[in-house]
Chain A
Amino acid sequence: MNPIAQYPFEISVEKVLKSSMVADPLTLLDCSPLTDGAAAIILAREDIAKKYTDTPVYLTGSGQASDTLALHDRSSLTGVLAAKIASEKAYKMAGVTAKDIPVAEVHDCFSIAELMAIEDIGFVSKGEGGKFVQDGQTKIGGKVAVNTSGGLKACGHPVGATGIKQAAEIVIQLRGDAGKRQVDGAEIGLTHNVGGSGATCVVNIFRR
């Protein structure tokens, strides 16, 4: 649905399961690809932004948190604590809750990472992520559309550009410019970006 994605085509579950094993049980297609890519956004104060565009998108909440780099020093292996804390800070600053978000870009560097992300940022409770996705609740038309850009796995993961690309996708959605992948009436959007396997996480909330 995203014409500028690295893999702009459908990939079946069967194809993912049959692709070569990388680290048990993650196969090649469970992992984000190596990508060349670039992304840009223009940040400005409201009064300045309005001189250049009639459709500014506002950054209303931003949260960052960090954790140990070593996985074996973390308090949990089934979630990213930094993501939980960063999202709580961002929701608080924006004055919204997870229930208010209709569209989000999350850091799905691996299949499991998307499930942990939607749990960490509060779209579902811990352990419910898999069922939520399976029930179609993260599709366009579901409770919250997740990774309409294709995410890291389909759109691509040009590491340094990924976070900005997520913000760009949310801006496109909030302006109603997303074409076939448009989430109807989206007024608020969220980005969740992770570094160092969860050692750091930034969550941003945007509003049109």
Chain B
Amino acid sequence: MHKTSVPGVWRRFKNRYQIVGTQCETCKTNFYPPRELCPKCRRGGKISEKKFAGLGKIVTYTRVHAAPAGYEKQVPYAVAIVQLEEGPMLTTQIVDYNTDELKIGQSVRATFRKMYEDGDEGIIHYGTKFTPIRES
């Protein structure tokens, strides 16, 4: 008999593990997290799924030193608002950065990472973070 696992259920939420949102085909506005309704076009909007490239730029950032529960081990960690190339903005952690790369305008790309743990024996939650793009 088929059994479902908790991670298996979570994996089905595309927008949690990949940057999949929606687009209003009427006005071409992109949404992440996905919206089922375009706030501009309302009923006149036609919504379809849209996968984003996962590339963007840092709009603003901070380094968190006093963490909420579950994030204590990660301090200090960087949190930023990133604007995707396709337009939407999202709040995300920035990882694997050199100090001089944590700046407004820095190009970043999405990366799949561990988010937090529910204690030592609980589930490990995964999701998307962003990391600087280096010219090589």
Contacts and interface: CB of A to CB of B under 8 A. Distances in A.
A23 B64 contact: yes
A13 to B, nearest CB: 20
Interface in A18-33: 20-26, 28
A22 B77 CA distance: 11
A48 interface: no
Contacts of A28: 66
B65 A24 contact: yes
B91 interface: yes
B90 A72 contact: yes
A77 B63 contact: no
Interface string A1-39: 000000000000000000011111110100000000000
A73 B90 CA distance: 8
Given A71-B91, A72-B89, A72-B91, A77 B65 contact: no
Given A71-B81, A72-B81, A77-B81, A24 B62 contact: yes
Contacts of A70: 91
B91 A22 contact: no
B65 A21 contact: yes
B24 to A, nearest CB: 15
A62 B60 CA distance: 33
A24 B91 contact: no
B95 interface: no
B59 interface: yes
B65 A22 contact: yes
Contact of A20 (B59, B63, B64, B65): B65
A26 B64 CA distance: 10
Given A71-B81, A72-B81, A77-B81, A24 B63 contact: yes
B84 to A, nearest CB: 10
A21 B65 CA distance: 6
B59 A23 contact: no
Sorted nearest first, the 9 A-B pairs with minimum C-beta distance are A72-B89, A24-B63, A21-B65, A22-B66, A23-B62, A72-B81, A24-B62, A23-B64, A72-B91
10 contacts: A21-B63, A21-B65, A21-B76, A22-B65, A23-B65, A24-B62, A24-B63, A28-B66, A72-B59, A77-B59
